[in-house]
Chain A
Amino acid sequence: MVESEAAVRVLIGKVGFDPHDRGILVLSQGLRNAGMEVIFVGKFLTAEEVVAAAIQESVDVIALSDHCGVMRLIAKDILAELERHGATDICVVAGGIIPEEDKPALESMGVTGNYGMGTPMEEIVSHIVERVNRRAKA
């Protein structure tokens, strides 16, 4: 489990106009059930707004969701914004409809998970815990 005492803090939000939010609603519930603190910022946001909220809320993780096939661009903008604010210690994970051929690029950018529909919640929870622990050790 998490090595620190404090609960993992996860910001969940969507960049752009993709309206599909069942995934982030289910994820929020699942992460809360697993004892994490969820900051749910909703949809129709820019990368700048998501990162600003993440920094203000001192989160460990940003969880992104997209069903339009453009996670690569969203991730690129989010990472650039984290870099600009010197906040690259925040982990970024993703899910939704992510083109198979984009997954290696996302992984190498440091955006992990990249889960599709039907992924068991436990798998997502343990992935987030593992990422946060790996960061704590680094």
Chain B
Amino acid sequence: MDHDSVSYDRDFGRLVRDKTQSNIPVKSVYGPADLDGLDYDRDLGNPGEAPFTRGIYPEMYRRNLWLKSLIVCYATPEETNRAFKKYIAAGQTGLRVLTDTSTLSGVDPDHPLARYDIMCNGNPTFALTEYETMLDGIALEGIDLESANSTPSGSFFTYVFLVALMEKRGGDISQLRGTNINDPIHAAIVYGTPEFPPALARRVNLDLIEFGIRNTPRWHPCTPCGYDMRDAGLTSPQEMAFVIANALQYYGDAIKERRLRFDDFRPMVFSMSAESDFFETIAKFRATRRLWARMARERLGATTSRNMACRIGIRTAGNSIYPQKPLNNTARVTLQVLAAVLGGVQAIDPSGIDETFGLPSEESRIFELDLQHIIAHEGNVPLTADPLGGSYYVEWLTTRLETEATKLLDEIDRLGGMWKCLESGWLRQQFDRTTTEVQGEISEGKRLIVGANAFRGADGAISRAIVGGAYKVPPDEKRFGAIDRVRKLRQTRDQDAVTRCLRDLADAVREQRNVLRPAIEATKAYATLGEMVGTIRMAHGLSFDPYKRIAAPEFLEHVA
């Protein structure tokens, strides 16, 4: 007769790594000797003082709690509107908008390729009508809005739609407050959508920075995004170096070509990732602030302490959310949010524990808010600024990350800046190398992922509920309803006004005028996003359709 038996291993679960997630070798203990040369005033400073290693505000979270900013995007503008209101009531303080995947790619719902993605990962905000519904009953003055749309057209049109909506409501756009990714180099690597090729993307990026700074002084018109790049496979030093290098590229160009002074700009905002490697994540945010303070001074000529500071908004790592034993994702998100708070960031957008099965359910979103309330109010974590400052390990790791990122920044400088690094393929190689290395370590068991390549096990009732609760993409018939909506809009709007506005947009492109104002006016006349992208492209000498599958509408033939 068989008896169940189990082989006991007292060392089961022993550590397999002696390196951080980014493969930085770690000793088993650190002490004073590891901080040789570290000078408190020069390298750390008090919170609120350059180089801001310890945080950007003197009293940190006592005075300025981080923004709890969730991406809110469901299939229809009505659902998204209801969700915003529900989450605001539950403590959401940063409103992040994201469109569906086809709109993000720069086309309208009736594009032939869109049939697969309409209403997936967000709602199709193809025209101002959709923003009117999505943000109905939500005052735009004084609230923090963030665009999570990070393709070149996605970044551009989120801003255009928000300004148009505010003006349409009779609001004061100087009160528009929030952030816009507007980072075409990262978008080319991560998204690869072709709507604005590099020369055009570069121009639109600078137009947005210039218009944003001059007209919406509380808006950050360009917040380089390390998050997407990190999620696509970078290390911490690469993520730090590339967001900073992109900032130097865009802001450097804006200063040179648009007669702006860096000291007129709002303090920099970086969008970054919070990973499961706890201490590396904390050290990364500290090191990023210190490195940026130096770069802003040395490379962009910042003269005020205010402009050497950078705010950091994070999303927790989406690629760390696994479908195997999904209850474990609560532990991962908790670890990552805690690291972000200890690292002194200004905005946190946690992943849904169920987002590997679909968009997060409402309950999962509420959990993400509650998790932050627990860290704040039960954990008392934010009571004091930079609580890990002075830790031998954290200070050593902060310096080490800064050193590694500095080496990359110097290399990028030698190569002629980030646009050049993108064009030459250098940037792509950086990704490929790291992704291959990480995948190899996972396959060989040198990197353990609980439930996936280690500690595997069956799902129970809780896991099944998490899987089943994720938001479902609507049935195809309902999704295709957006095609009727955009066609109906085109039939009912004042077509003469649209044609006139799009002609002005095309002229602005050709005459090297800033394209923002004409795009805002066209939006207020209910031109669609696909039409505006196509107009900008045609006036730039490109085909109407970025994907070369449809022809320009007739009325655009003599316009663009």
Contact = CB atoms under 8 A, between A and B. Distances in A.
Contacts of A44: 105, 113, 192-194, 547
B473 A26 contact: no
Contact of A25 (B101, B435, B470): B435
Nearest to A67: B121
Given A29-B436, A68-B101, A17 B116 contact: yes
A19 B189 CA distance: 10
B439 A29 contact: yes
Nearest to B121: A68
Nearest to B116: A16
A17 B117 contact: yes
A123 to B, nearest CB: 11
B16 to A, nearest CB: 16
Nearest to B359: A69
A116 interface: yes
B468 A69 contact: no
Contacts of A97: 356-358
Contacts of B371: none
A36 to B, nearest CB: 16
A66 B121 CA distance: 12
A94 interface: no
Contact of B192 (A21, A68, A99): A21
B267 interface: no
Contacts of B387: none
Contact of B452 (A25, A30, A118): A118
B117 A18 contact: yes
Contacts of A74: 116
Contacts of A22: 231-233, 319, 435
Interface string B430-474: 001001100100010000010111000000000000011010110
Interface residues of B, number: 47
Residue of A17, A70, A116, A121 with highest tally of chain B CB at under 10 A: A17
A44 B323 CA distance: 26
Residue of A29, A46, A118, A122 with highest tally of chain B CB at under 10 A: A118
A100 interface: yes
A109 to B, nearest CB: 15
B453 A70 contact: no
| Interface class of chain B by DSSP | loop
Nearest to B112: A46
A1 interface: no
Interface in A98-136: 99-100, 116-122
B190 interface: yes
A6 interface: no
Contacts of A38: none
Contacts of B104: 17, 19
Contacts of B473: 68-70, 99
A15 B358 contact: no
Nearest to A122: B443
A123 B96 CA distance: 38
A118 B322 contact: yes
B157 to A, nearest CB: 15
Interface string B412-433: 0000000000000000000010
Nearest to B323: A116
B116 A15 contact: yes
B114 interface: yes
A26 B438 CA distance: 10
Contacts of B191: 19
A18 B468 CA distance: 22
B487 to A, nearest CB: 19
Contact of B117 (A70, A99, A120): A70
A99 B112 CA distance: 24
B404 to A, nearest CB: 22
A100 B192 CA distance: 29
Contact of B190 (A19, A46, A116): A19
A68 B116 CA distance: 8
A39 to B, nearest CB: 18
Nearest first, the 8 closest Cβ-Cβ pairs linking A and B are A16-B116, A118-B452, A68-B120, A116-B323, A69-B473, A17-B105, A19-B191, A17-B117
14 contacts: A22-B233, A22-B319, A22-B435, A44-B547, A68-B120, A68-B473, A69-B472, A70-B120, A99-B357, A99-B470, A100-B468, A116-B323, A118-B453, A120-B443
Given A17-B107, A26-B439, 16 more contacts: A16-B102, A17-B105, A17-B117, A17-B193, A18-B101, A18-B117, A22-B232, A22-B233, A44-B194, A68-B117, A68-B120, A99-B357, A100-B467, A118-B451, A118-B452, A120-B452
